[in-house]
Structure 1
């Protein structure tokens, strides 16, 4: 099976060379401008780093309950999977504060980076586009984006007048695996120079089905060896994952004024979520070390979250020899979530109030094009309750950045930039202050025959986050007693990335190779707290700092074959991701993704289309202390679409579809999930839905 999948992926990637000259009006070179990238507007294929733009159609096709699940098919992307309620994307083995999740270019201003059970306040269900920048292309967003940037663009703040005076986009689907429904809609209207946009969404997912036991075979065997027959006599969840429900709602509106050379828009978004914490260890010892009672073991903890966010964005264009445009954005958000031990029994409360502002000015001097700007963040994090593992903390930072590019007519180009920043953390345990510097330099060559090669080197510095510095308490959602280290130094990374791409009208192929050496990499590992390996029945995990090296590659490709087999227009795509994270002491970085291969094929007859996608993940045996190996898996997904626009209903994109996800009901566990041994991914899911565009 492994060899067959390797052959399938390689065929999808390399098929483009065999069909490079196929005549057809479809052109795979029609790419989106990556607005998240610093400097002048550039297409995906013009960046040295690997960049991806996913439009509305692509979002719906891969939409999952959370942002990490929606994106984990993309090259170099995996998920922190924490059931249906929470997950963030992991880019090239890096997650949490090393991947910046943005909404319209500004941080999500939540607490999702502090813990994998905290939901990111952006998931894409009503988004217009999602952009992914991997590696050093995200320099202008600071050291906390060393892994990359994921920017969810919701379209509430228009910068130009839409082509249509009015438009509506609706989506609805039913998921059999959770007996769940999801709906989303957006409407836009132009009135003179004003653009009005409204969006809304809702999900109602029950507990989801799983192929077998919630507990992995490896964990089951380990606990049976430790506890003997008593463990075998325990009741173990199977068939359905208890407490895995998720319910979300969001409502948002925006209005923009569009002038001849300027724009100004304001938007507000209000979202709520309530979701269970499957696998949470809420049975823990009392002060005498005795186990909790049977009633505590039956508690079903859940999170009730709410965020209100306000955004203002404006810009003005200039027609002179230097300054071309100034764009300013300011966002303010009030976030709160309560962790309930059981219905009616509120436990820990997390509150975040934050403001983030960014001003960016683009300029041009001869062949040199670039941007410079400043960014400011001010955030207060409060945690209250007996199980708060961190005390109230304030964070603020001020940074300035510069990014320049120069391209000659022969296709050769240079680019580079720098960012300086001061970050402060304040807490009753003590205050910290970090001066940070990041810089990058790169060169590329673009030929008329479709080839592009590039090389980029970057240095980044990241300040430790609140948890890494100040954590000290039981974190029951992850079954750990976490302890931070106030003496942490800043984390430094030296990255080198090489890329080679080729594209034609009907095919594309790319390879990205990267290596990042960290000075003082921060990670969570088992340890001793005041001489004890356990506190309140939970294993102690310390935030530690050590040099580490990440090495990896992404190979990806796509081919379009018009009027091929069965007289269909075929689209083939494939990709191979691999990353290895090693500590200089000889151990492994925790929670690393395995070698992963994706391969897909879609046949389009105009009115109908059908496709299949296979994901193969290898066993993950390069594990850190305290982890168990993770078995690999093969996931098969099928999809069929009826193009209702061909029948005269709605605009292009109006589609009735049916998905069959995880067709073989495979047991899937993500090695990047802290709860991988007690929270498997959903089993077979039949998803039926419709998207209507008018």
Structure 2
């Protein structure tokens, strides 16, 4: 009997050693989420959600909702698939009883955001939802809006307009603010070019290979920029792949338009190999001179070549990746202005950029992960008065890096990002430009945090920066008083609050303190800039730009209706602008522009409407208006866009979409001295899109007709409005295939 008891005891010990779960109960959790169509934001019914490396799977209901129950705490990989849509992988940490707030967008083509590694407590905020609705171009909508440049692609977005000097040198303007107040980034890395400094300089981005565009406003701006009243236009390409994929993918496309006899071809591919994912991209664009309703805008042609190669190595802890991009473009700046060459100026631009990214995921309750980014750029920009005569030559060596720490629940914060960054720039100038070559250094520290308190959602951020600029003597004619070393300490703050009155109706506001350091050109310019047709004089004694921004907004959203309205006020007690003095330089016959700091006030209103009229018929519209004033003179601020209204009617029939839209602009008669007024206009456009889904590929076709009535109209922010209107009737065709 004693031996029998010993055998039973030994058996129990062995069982306990090998099966401890019989004696201890594991913590269990549940996952709940929703699957949406990334192009329409509508729920996807019967999408299949699988937990990798398990036999667990589920399908979404008619509301796109899925759930998994009785899951032990730990890390899981969800794989989401749906017929005709790209399969999506998603990593999640189950560390509480119910993990909610998971929103996954599937796309009928491989166009999506760079995946975000999240934990159960890291869900989308109401601000993210709001931004997704009004400030993001993606999927078929992005394909439909693709234009010659980034600015023309974004021109109908809420609050945006275009500053241009011909088709190529065009740049987005937000609420009347341009220059580097609007920062352009690619995969979160600031682009290196001179588009923010002069109207004749182009943005070094090929829009056709973009996967997604985000216009970031509010506190999140401070992760990139100190100017809270402006914004960040973030281009997403996934150039350094951030998600591991098991299958080869390829997208190829062609684009053509009649208004300039332009064409483009591109190929983008991702290739998995072991623990690596490689990405390659190539594109070529060529256009001739632009046709307008009254004639040809001479010297407005473009030739662009764009190449990129990237690779990432994946492990359980995260990834490490590198990429290199080369962008080359030759374009013309039209002539016909005061002091301009009769045939305009030709510009050759070259950029080569190397990027490095390291991402480590901790999967802890408080710390999500850390990310390190490093970039090195070489940029060259040459302006030719004629084939054998260089008018201006700019070159930049730029080095930048950042370290970001992503937190989950920390103190009373739900999630956030904190980090430090640096940027060193060696800016050299040659030709007949007398701005001093300058070395500059920027050091920054910043933090963005978000939390909820009952029905309140609150976002807040700060950024502190130190800038040092060291000009060098350019040539014997440079004035000694212009060669002043400058140092700036600046700080910016921003807080947004959103309150849910009901499940569908929200009100909120933002208040921010904005700052901006003068650019090298604003400080040290002192001579002709022939391609911009101006004689530019800087001010080396400028202070940093400072002001207070505020806005109040409200939105209502249900399954069939979305409406948002925003009222803003930006009070700048030192606003840096180049003003036309009305004088002409006697040697060059160029108009003299002097950089000054003035007190300025910008106020305005914006609205955004999406309405489902019928099951297959919807109406979208936006309205944007900015009122700018120089406070000390009670006179209009220069280069402010007029009131603009955009409306679009869309009809859906399975894989077919038809649309008709109109752009309506008021006249702009509130102008600065020596600025030209513009008349109002109404332009009508149409489009048709069709998707063909086969066993192996998705084919997307888009045909647009812009300015159907061949209307003569002028963009108030265009310098060529003096000699020519905007483009005439234009047919645009886009075809893309996704494998």
Same fold (TM over 0.5): yes
* Structure 1 match to 2:307: 251
Pair 403,266 (structure 1): closer, same or farther in 2 beyond 3 Å: same
User: Superposed, which structure 2 residues align to 1:246-285 within 5 Å?
Assistant: 246-279=302-335, 281=337, 283=339
* Structure 1 match to 2:14: none
Structure 2 residue 689 is the aligned partner of structure 1 residue 641? yes
Pair 319,179 (structure 1): closer, same or farther in 2 beyond 3 Å: closer
Pair 513,329 (structure 1): closer, same or farther in 2 beyond 3 Å: same
Match of 1:143, SS state, is coil
Structure 2 residue 635 is the aligned partner of structure 1 residue 579? no
TM value normalised by structure 1 = 0.84
Deviation at 1:320, TM superposition (A): 2.9
- Does structure 2 retain, via aligned residues, the 8 Å contact 1:440–1:456? yes
User: Which consecutive unaligned segments of at least 5 residues does structure 1 have?
Assistant: 1-22, 213-238, 285-296, 564-568
C-alpha separation in 2, matches of 1:636 and 1:493:
38
Deviation at 1:142, TM superposition (A): 2.8
Deviation at 1:321, TM superposition (A): 3.9
* Structure 1 match to 2:605: 553
Which deviates the most, 447-456 or 176-185? 447-456
* Structure 2 match to 1:219: none
Structure 2 residue 559 is the aligned partner of structure 1 residue 505? yes
* Structure 2 match to 1:202: 284
* Structure 2 match to 1:90: 173
- Does structure 2 retain, via aligned residues, the 8 Å contact 1:282–1:476? no
Match of 2:207, SS state, is coil
C-alpha separation in 1, matches of 2:621 and 2:320:
41
* Structure 2 match to 1:397: 442
Pair 34,615 (structure 1): closer, same or farther in 2 beyond 3 Å: farther
* Structure 2 match to 1:628: 676
C-alpha separation in 2, matches of 1:101 and 1:348:
24
User: Superposed, which structure 2 residues align to 1:85-164 within 5 Å?
Assistant: 85-144=168-227, 146-162=229-245
TM value normalised by structure 2 = 0.79
- Does structure 2 retain, via aligned residues, the 8 Å contact 1:270–1:308? yes
Bigger share in strand? 2
C-alpha separation in 2, matches of 1:649 and 1:179:
34
CA distances 1:632-686 after superposition (whole Å, capped 9, x unpaired): 22121111123222xx37544x222221111111123211223332343211111
* Structure 2 match to 1:62: 145
Structure 2 residue 498 is the aligned partner of structure 1 residue 471? no
Pair 412,329 (structure 1): closer, same or farther in 2 beyond 3 Å: same
Deviation at 1:438, TM superposition (A): 0.7
**2:726 corresponds to which of 670, 675, 681:** 681
- Does structure 1 retain, via aligned residues, the 8 Å contact 2:126–2:457? no
Pair 165,44 (structure 1): closer, same or farther in 2 beyond 3 Å: farther
User: Superposed, which structure 2 residues align to 1:648-663 within 5 Å?
Assistant: 648=694, 651-652=697-698, 654-663=699-708
User: Superposed, which structure 2 residues align to 1:462-611 within 5 Å?
Assistant: 462-527=516-581, 536-561=588-613, 563=615, 569-584=616-631, 585-611=633-659
Match of 1:57, SS state, is helix
Deviation at 1:124, TM superposition (A): 2.0
* Structure 1 match to 2:75: none
* Structure 2 match to 1:235: none
Pair 504,250 (structure 1): closer, same or farther in 2 beyond 3 Å: same
CA distances 1:300-323 after superposition (whole Å, capped 9, x unpaired): 421011110111112111133432
**1:360 corresponds to which of 404, 414, 421:** 404
**1:384 corresponds to which of 416, 426, 430:** 430
Match of 2:140, SS state, is helix
- Does structure 1 retain, via aligned residues, the 8 Å contact 2:334–2:343? no
- Does structure 1 retain, via aligned residues, the 8 Å contact 2:601–2:630? yes
Pair 270,33 (structure 1): closer, same or farther in 2 beyond 3 Å: closer
Pair 527,404 (structure 1): closer, same or farther in 2 beyond 3 Å: same
Which deviates the most, 45-54 or 314-323? 45-54
- Does structure 2 retain, via aligned residues, the 8 Å contact 1:393–1:427? yes
Deviation at 1:52, TM superposition (A): 1.5
Match of 2:377, SS state, is strand
Structure 2 residue 262 is the aligned partner of structure 1 residue 180? yes
Pair 595,298 (structure 1): closer, same or farther in 2 beyond 3 Å: closer
Match of 2:151, SS state, is helix
Output the aligned Cα RMSD: 2.6
Deviation at 1:170, TM superposition (A): 1.5
C-alpha separation in 2, matches of 1:132 and 1:401:
20
User: Which consecutive unaligned segments of at least 5 residues does structure 2 have?
Assistant: 1-60, 66-102, 106-111, 473-482
The count of aligned residue pairs is 619
Deviation at 1:134, TM superposition (A): 2.9
- Does structure 1 retain, via aligned residues, the 8 Å contact 2:114–2:242? no
CA distances 1:477-526 after superposition (whole Å, capped 9, x unpaired): 23211100011001002011222111112221111221111011011112
C-alpha separation in 2, matches of 1:178 and 1:246:
10
* Structure 1 match to 2:487: 433
Match of 1:125, SS state, is helix
Match of 2:573, SS state, is strand
* Structure 2 match to 1:165: 247
Pair 662,59 (structure 1): closer, same or farther in 2 beyond 3 Å: same
* Structure 2 match to 1:303: 347
* Structure 2 match to 1:374: 420
C-alpha separation in 2, matches of 1:34 and 1:412:
28
C-alpha separation in 1, matches of 2:104 and 2:716:
35
- Does structure 2 retain, via aligned residues, the 8 Å contact 1:49–1:135? no
- Does structure 1 retain, via aligned residues, the 8 Å contact 2:382–2:390? yes
C-alpha separation in 2, matches of 1:255 and 1:499:
42
- Does structure 1 retain, via aligned residues, the 8 Å contact 2:113–2:212? no
- Does structure 2 retain, via aligned residues, the 8 Å contact 1:196–1:254? yes
* Structure 2 match to 1:667: 712
Which deviates the most, 267-276 or 518-527? 518-527
* Structure 2 match to 1:351: 395
**2:370 corresponds to which of 323, 326, 347:** 326
Deviation at 1:299, TM superposition (A): 3.9
Pair 691,468 (structure 1): closer, same or farther in 2 beyond 3 Å: same
Deviation at 1:606, TM superposition (A): 1.7
CA distances 1:276-327 after superposition (whole Å, capped 9, x unpaired): 111365856xxxxxxxxxxxx5444210111101111121111334322111
C-alpha separation in 1, matches of 2:639 and 2:620:
27
Deviation at 1:169, TM superposition (A): 1.3
C-alpha separation in 2, matches of 1:423 and 1:310:
24
